Amino acid sequence: MKRQQPFQRGAGVLLAVSSLPSPYGIGTFGDSAYRFVDFLKRCGGSYWQVLPLGPTGYGDSPYQSFSAFAGNPYLIDPEILMREGLLKREDAEAFSWGENPKKVDYEKLYAYRMDLLRIAWRNSRHKSEKAFFDFCRSNAFWLDDYARFQAIKKHYAEKCWLYWPEEIRTRKQDALAALCETLEEEIDFYKFCQFHFFAQWKKLKEYANQNGVSIIGDIPIYVALDSSDVWAGQEEFLLGKDGRPEDVAGVPPDEFSDSGQLWGNPLYRWDEMEKNGFTWWKLRMGFAAKMYDVIRIDHFIGIVRYYAVRSDRVDAKHGKWRRGPGEKLLTAISEVIGETKIIAEDLGAVTPAVKRLRLKAGYPGMKILSYGFGEGAGNENLPHNFEKNCVVYGGTHDNEPLAGYFKHADETELLFAKHYFGVRQTKALCEAVVRAGYASVADLCLFQIQDLLGLDHRYRMNTPATVGGNWTFRITDEMLSDELSEKLYELTYIYGRGKEE
């Protein structure tokens, strides 16, 4: 296994693309994304961490995607399609995209966004374009199955693939070929969407890189049951004869939930994956390495050991820990990612074996400052206990923003935090935590935009173990003020996190 070299000292912002401003109901790869890169540059920041960019499925979660490879068509920018002559402004303005610019309206997006993209598709001459042909050919290893999956799913009224006719569910060659011939135009539409998603993303990433900003992507360790990955590769997942999972993924009871978190994702047949040299994982990580400059592996501990819960359970209280592939998988990954670096999300039930593997690979782990105030001076999330090869966050997308956390913290934690940071007023804690993160020895310092803006619990991105009301947070252009960029620029250079001129 190739050992990863440490990161250079730097800082950045955690912000989902969906959270950017736009007049079309959700953030896109349009002008606001470029303005956000400009904002990061003014801050002296060198990293933009995004959430997973795949098509959102159950609960609108980017961690429950219809594909581990495909992009979310909601993020395709209509304005860019207008400039390319594929849409007219009145096409986009004919639909309602929601009334609140600070929240994503997924109901409106579900109802209308694909209709808008179909207008662009009908206006397109992509079938005669070499760029489209080259895209389809180079991405055929995932694109063909994904486009078929989405077209068939629409054909069967959006039902999960488990409820498709048996010959399609089990991918009988003749039956599948016949159906796909019938759905040829629909399959082409989904390929068209992916072509434009990746064309727009590539240009945005190039702009970021040209301005000294590296993109940190996020890779969920598991894939959704209702996904093209599971439908097309059933032999690599722990499924019964009927295609339904025997066991599913989750975590035992923790600080987020007394009953644990029952994610419901199918588990991998690690023994089968090892036999074929982890081919699917190599394809996935090699693809991600081209999309991002850094890859954050969500739930890294699942590579060492994973929690399995019987699929008929209603909660995750009674699961079992099983051994994962460990170093064998990381060795396979290191063969395909080139110079792209990895961050290990090592939160939760970390064992000595997890730490040993992370250190052997050279991956930095994560420290969460809002976890630091409940166990006294020995808490590993307090800055004085950090080691250099780590990434410090105020909190992640799963955490309450700092202002909300301190508003609801118990008296003991609040008092400890005030003493630790040397402040008297609760309202001063957010800025003190941000400064401490920048000042720490952690190689990378990343804060949610909510924490940099001092926003409270009302602006939380996600509450684990809940469904509904999550993933809707958005910013407005006014929030990315010169005052904020000047404050962050000062912190960046005082604490040596800026790139040398």
Residues in the chain: 501
345 is catalytic: yes
185 is catalytic: no
For tokens 């939760």, name the residue.
348
298 is catalytic: yes
Residue 244 zone, left/alpha/beta (φ > 0; ψ -120 to 50; rest)? beta
The DSSP symbol for 309 reads E
| 467 in Cβ contact with 259 (< 8 Å) | no
Tokens of 164: 């498709």
Angstrom distance (rounded) from CA 296 to CA 280: 18
Catalytic residue among 79, 188, 293, 298: 298
Paired residues of 193 in beta bridges:
none
Angstrom distance (rounded) from CA 246 to CA 42: 51
Vertex 169 angle, CA 165 and 174, to 5°: 85
CA distances from 217 to 19, 292, 345, 479 (A): 15, 6, 12, 23
Vertex 232 angle, CA 126 and 68, to 5°: 70
Query: 377-404: b or e for each residue (b if 16 or more CB lie within 10 Å)?
Result: eebebbbeebeebbbbbbbbbbbbbbbb
Catalytic residue among 345, 400, 443, 456: 345
Amino acid identity, position 105: D
Amino acid identity, position 11: A
Catalytic residue among 91, 254, 398, 477: 398
| 338 in Cβ contact with 292 (< 8 Å) | no
Vertex 224 angle, CA 222 and 230, to 5°: 95
Task: Cite the active site residues.
Answer: 298, 345, 398
